A = this chain, B = another copy of it.
């Protein structure tokens, strides 16, 4: 196992396969300028015209929509190394919003930088792959919300986050930094914070997970995967 690259986007894209050094250099170049965004602030809002593409290098962000009742549905959770809206600039206006969940380092990338990256075949393939995986995650979430009870949903999401965090080198053993609130989880899973809390307390009592100090430790990975009917296939990690 090679030492993970210091650039989170390189780490993410090398989940599909190794990149030439020149490609890594280009990625480092276009991710040079970052901006610190405080927690709970929109990076871009529904209705706006998408100009730049947004990349998260540190922290957690999400795609979401609000419904008339005032409830929020989180459509995607973005980890470090992930684009929020890679190809969205084809469309004239955003049909959803992007917001930080924690404080984030964000790159506002002009589309020219995207085109430069797409000229490199290895990067282009990796970006394509990343986009397809994003969609697969979205589909899996739909299955979760449509056809699985609360306990399974929460277990499934925890498994997914663990594997995705591990894929970019952000886990230590079975544990990783976990700054999502229970309300965030609820909004991602079509539940309420109360239901999420009851499931998490149950999983803790059963010794399957341990949560403390913005950290989660998966103690019984097999059990958690079984509860959530989780298989990592849809993440298409090679």
Contacts and interface: CB of A to CB of B under 8 A. Distances in A.
Interface of A: 63, 65, 67-69, 71-73, 75, 87-88, 90-93, 95-96, 125, 128-129, 132, 135-136, 138-143, 145-148, 189-190, 229, 233-234, 236, 238
15 contacts: A67-B229, A69-B147, A71-B147, A73-B147, A75-B142, A90-B125, A92-B236, A93-B233, A95-B136, A135-B138, A138-B138, A145-B145, A145-B190, A146-B189, A147-B190
Contacts of A73: 142-143, 146-147
Contacts of A141: 142
Contact of A90 (B92, B129, B229): B129
State the oligomeric state as a number of copies: 2
A238 B67 CA distance: 24
Contacts of A88: 132
A233 B96 CA distance: 10
A141 B63 CA distance: 14
